[in-house]
Amino acid sequence: MNEGTLQGEARFRRRAIKVDEAMRLVMEALELGRQESVPLWEAAGRRLAEAVSATTDWPPFARSGMDGFAVRSADTALASPGAPATLRIAATVAAGALASADVAPGTAVRIMTGGAVPPGADAVVMLEQTTDAVVDGQPAVLVKRTAEPGQNIAPRGEEFRCGSVFAGPGELLRPGHAALLGTFGYAHVPVYARPRVAVLATGAELLPVEAPLAPGRIRDSNSAMVAALVAQHGGVPVLLGRVPDEPGAAAQAIVDALQQCDLIITTGGVSVGDYDVMASLLSFLATDHPAGKEASAASFASAAQTAAKPGLLPQDSRLLFNKAAMRPGAPTSAAVLSGKLLLALSGNPGACFVGFELFAKPALQRLQGATPEQAMPKQVTAQLAGSFTKGSPHERFVRARLYTENAVLCAAPLGFGKSSMMASIPEADGLIRIKAGSEGAVEGDIVDVIVL
């Protein structure tokens, strides 16, 4: 009886790094993506490539905030319901037009909401606070209250001064930005292009979604989930099906994907099984181990019974990490191949989902121009509605439902949370972070939660 080859993790030279460190490595490895100009109507949801600024003061003129009459406030100083000020109507100005007359003492100009307040006037009186009248055969208006100087007038430049920047590079454009861009005449908007994301699955057990089930086999559900996540976060999923199980063919599929995509996401094949092709491929890049590339490849060759050799991936490839101190998703791996990021997510749906949120979503944001800070997952604090009394050597990410109760944000862990389980993924709107250590967390604790 003799002990044999290296087993499991040791074979693949795996050293777990902390999640925050892994996220930092991914962020540093990325370069900003391509830029393009898109019509304003399509700009929302994209990130800005260049700063955009006010092209005029805003409002561009003193603007009436009400339908009513532009007046000189001094003319109304003594007005009251019993003794209204009587002002001759000198002109009517619609929104979009200019008044044919200034507002001279003793006169008023009929004005609509959004209209340019004519010279001479310093206040607008609401239509409802006036009464039409005729004085000496001329149309007039009765004003029953004192008007304050400036009332119902938005002064020129109140919101923006010409030239002031209203959104900077990397900013996610929301519908409110569309209003500003339209106001300032940006019919086209400089944005980052939607990254093309290769989605590949590994695993001999996988069937296409449309296939009938067969004994021992399951359908590829991760590709559908990852494609939906990619689209949700601004990318264009490029569905490339299943990665071949043989390392040489798998490497070729990945090299092909590099040609047409900006980011590559694989699911599965990262564990310690004999057929875990992504783990095998990436082990060639694990140079930090004393044994180096050659030994790693050799041990793979013996363990996986293939003719795989190092050098299958591009020369300029480098591993970022092949184990993260997290649960689920510890075998999640990342590498840079010819300047492009490869994320090898777990094949377990729950772990794949967590890996996407922690690494792929920020990567997508970064490729779309977000700063590293903007790209990071949104994290809040919440009160834990549940307990995790068992500690874990790795940080845990627990799918949760978020709700508020009397202004307290609560995070309730969802059932069916095992990494292999899918049932609770659709309901999750947060990931509770339970710190590594012996203690866990108990109901009522304040915990960090990543908002999905």
- 107 to 136, contacts with a copy of itself by CB under 8 A? 110, 112-116, 126-128, 130-135
CB of 113 to a copy of itself, least distance (A): 5
Specify the residue, 160 or 284, whose C-beta has the smaller distance to a copy of itself. Answer: 160
Instruction: Tell me phi and psi for residue 197, to 5 degrees.
Output: -120, 115
- 413 to 452, contacts with a copy of itself by CB under 8 A? 416, 418, 420-428, 446
- 361 to 400, contacts with a copy of itself by CB under 8 A? 380-383
CB of 34 to a copy of itself, least distance (A): 22
406 binds a copy of itself (CB under 8 A): yes
298 binds a copy of itself (CB under 8 A): no
Specify the residue, 9 or 21, whose C-beta has the smaller distance to a copy of itself. Answer: 9
Specify the residue, 176 or 292, whose C-beta has the smaller distance to a copy of itself. Answer: 176
For the chain, the three-class secondary structure string (H helix, E strand, C coil) is: CCCCCCCHHHHHCCCCECHHHHHHHHHHHCCCCCEEEEEHHHCCCCEECCCEECCCCECCCCEECCCEEEECHHHHCCCCCCCCEEEEEEEEECCCCCCCCCCCCCEEEEECCCCECCCCCCEEEEHHHEEEEEECCEEEEEECCCCCCCCCEECCCCCECCCCEEECCCCECCHHHHHHHHHCCCCEEEEECCCEEEEEECCCCEECCCCCCCCCCEECCHHHHHHHHHHHCCCEEEEEEECCCCHHHHHHHHHHHHHHCCEEEEECCCCCCCCCHHHHHHHCCCCCCCCHHHHHHHHHHHHHCCCCCCCCCCCCCEEEECCECEECCCCCEEEEECCEEEEEECCCHHHHHHHHHHHHHHHHHHHCCCCHHHHCCCEEEEEECCCECCCECCEEEEEEEEEEECCEEEEEECCCCCCCCCCCCCCCCEEEEECCECCCECCCCEEEEEEC
CB of 317 to a copy of itself, least distance (A): 25
CB of 140 to a copy of itself, least distance (A): 8
3-state SS class at 9: helix
Specify the residue, 173 or 286, whose C-beta has the smaller distance to a copy of itself. Answer: 173
222 binds a copy of itself (CB under 8 A): yes
- 24 to 43, contacts with a copy of itself by CB under 8 A? 40-41, 43
CB of 44 to a copy of itself, least distance (A): 3
The tokens for 178 are 């569309």
300 binds a copy of itself (CB under 8 A): no
CB of 68 to a copy of itself, least distance (A): 9
151 binds a copy of itself (CB under 8 A): no
CB of 441 to a copy of itself, least distance (A): 13
Specify the residue, 142 or 255, whose C-beta has the smaller distance to a copy of itself. Answer: 142
Residues 347, 355 contacting (CB under 8 angstroms): no
Tell which one of 16, 70, 91, 181 touches a copy of itself (CB under 8 A): 181
CB of 236 to a copy of itself, least distance (A): 11
CB of 11 to a copy of itself, least distance (A): 9
Q: Which amino acid is at 74?
A: A
DSSP states along 151-167: TTEE-TTSSB-TT-EEE
- 344 to 363, contacts with a copy of itself by CB under 8 A? 347-349, 353
CB of 309 to a copy of itself, least distance (A): 22
- 225 to 284, contacts with a copy of itself by CB under 8 A? 225-229, 231-232, 237, 239, 271-276
80 binds a copy of itself (CB under 8 A): no
175 binds a copy of itself (CB under 8 A): yes
Specify the residue, 287 or 420, whose C-beta has the smaller distance to a copy of itself. Answer: 420
Beta-sheet pairing, 446-451 with 395-405: unpaired
Site size with a copy of itself, rule: CB under 8 A: 128
Segment interacting with a copy of itself (CB under 8 A) among 16-24, 247-255, 342-350, 388-396: 342-350
Specify the residue, 41 or 339, whose C-beta has the smaller distance to a copy of itself. Answer: 41
